[in-house]
Structures are given as C-alpha cells and as structure tokens.
Amino acid sequence: MQCPVDNTTLVMSDRQGVEIDYCPTCRGVWLDRGELDKIIERSVPAAPATPEPPARGYNDDHGSGRRKKKRGSFLDDIFDF
C-alpha cells in the first residue's frame, strides 16, 4: 500500500496486538476500521474503584452546604481541574 501523502510504501507495525500502517517518510499513521478503538481499549489500565465522596458537613459558609469558589486563572474556565 502506498502513502496517500508522499506515495512512499507503507510499513506495517504491531502496536499492542494491532497491526497499523505507517509511512517512514512523513510519519503518517493509517488505521483500519476499529483499530483505534482496540488500541485505546488496550492502552487504558483498568480503572480503580472510585471512593465515595466524603460526607458534607457544616462549613464556614453559614451552613448553606456550598463552598465559595476561589478566583482562579482563565485556564480554570477552559479546563476541568
């Protein structure tokens, strides 16, 4: 099979039991249907059991059960930290 970008012959490689095609020149990677899902499934370790969240108790916010949000950087608005 030829690379659709630069017409170099693609090389087959085995990644976590899945054969993928890649171009040694432009380093492009081509996957067949379902191969990306297999790689993802095999690369993610089994998730540990999530612990229960701590019980909410009285806090200094007049007992409303809500905590004041600290003012953070603009990254806090973009990403879930």
pLDDT of the residue at 48? 65
> Is residue 18 assigned to a domain?
yes
Coil, helix or strand for 78?
A: helix
Total structural domains in the chain? 1
pLDDT of the residue at 81? 44
Each of the 81 residues of the chain gets a pLDDT tens digit; together they read: 899 999 999 999 887 788 889 999 998 998 889 988 888 888 777 666 667 667 666 555 555 556 666 666 655 655 554
> Is residue 8 assigned to a domain?
yes
Query: Which domain covers residue 14, as residue numbers?
Result: 1-45
> Is residue 51 assigned to a domain?
no
**Would you give the DSSP letter of residue 18?**
E
Is the separation of the CB atoms in 8 and 25 below 8 Å?
Answer: yes
> Cα separation of 32 and 12, whole Å?
12
> Is residue 68 assigned to a domain?
no
> Is residue 19 assigned to a domain?
yes
pLDDT of the residue at 11? 93
